[in-house]
Amino acid sequence: MIGRFQPFHKGHLQLSKQILRECNELIIAIGSAQFNYIYKDPFTAGERVLMIHAALLESGLDLAKCYIIPIANDENNARWLGQLKSMVPHFDVLYSGNEFVKVLAQQQPIRVKKPFFSKKDDYNGTNIRRHMAAAASVISSTKPRRKSQNWKRLVPNAVSRLIEEIDGVNRIKILLKSDSNPQRW
C-alpha cells in the first residue's frame, strides 16, 4: 500500500483492513518521505510512521503482520519501482489507485489491485488539510469551535491525538500562508 499519508485517514485504515483480509501481510510504503513542512506535505516521515502505527494499533490490527516503511521519491520514474522493491520486503500485490503507478508496475510481473475507497471525497488528504486550515482560522477567530473539529471525524482518533500533540493544525495554518506567499531568500 503506497501513499503519502498526509495525514493517515479513515479511508487508509479501511484499506489496511481490506488488504489484511486478502493478504498475509501489509506493507505500508510512505511515499515522498523526504518532503515535510510544506502545505501539501505538512508532516514528517517520522510523524507519519507514528500516526499509522498508532491507528493500526488502536484498530486492533496485528502489528506483527504490518510493516511501515518511509520511501524517498526517485525523480527517475523508470527506476522508481526497482527502488521501491529494494526498500521493502517482497510483495506480490501492489494496491494503488494511481494509474501512473499501474503503468510502471506493468513493466514488471507485479499485480496491481485498485483499492475500493469509500467516501473518497471526504477521505482524502487534500480535503482533510483544507478542513484543518479552516479549523486554524476558526480557532484564531471568535466563531464557535464546534465546526473547527470537522477534520477529526475523517481520521482515526489516534491520528487526531498525534496531530494535536504536534500542533499540526497550527502548522498547516502557517504553511498555507507561507506556501501561498513564498519569500525569496
Tell me: cis bond preceding 7? Omega within 30 of 0 counts: yes
What is the arithmetic mean of pLDDT over 157-168? 97
Q: What is the pTM of this model?
A: 0.88
Give the pLDDT score at 138.
58
111 and 70 Cβ atoms separated by less than 8 Å:
no
Give the pLDDT score at 164.
97
Classify residue 15 as exposed, middle or buried by CB count within 10 Å of its CB (0-12, 13-18, 19+): buried
Torsion sign, CA atoms 45, 46, 50, 51: negative
- Nearest CA-CA partner of 3 in 38, 27, 39: 27
Domains of the chain and CATH, by start: 2-113 (3.40.50.620), 125-180 (no CATH)
Q: Is 111 helix (H, G, I), strand (E, B) or coil?
A: strand
- Greater confidence (87 vs 103) lies with 87
Chain segment 116-153, per-residue pLDDT in tens? 887 888 899 999 999 999 987 755 444 544 445 689 99
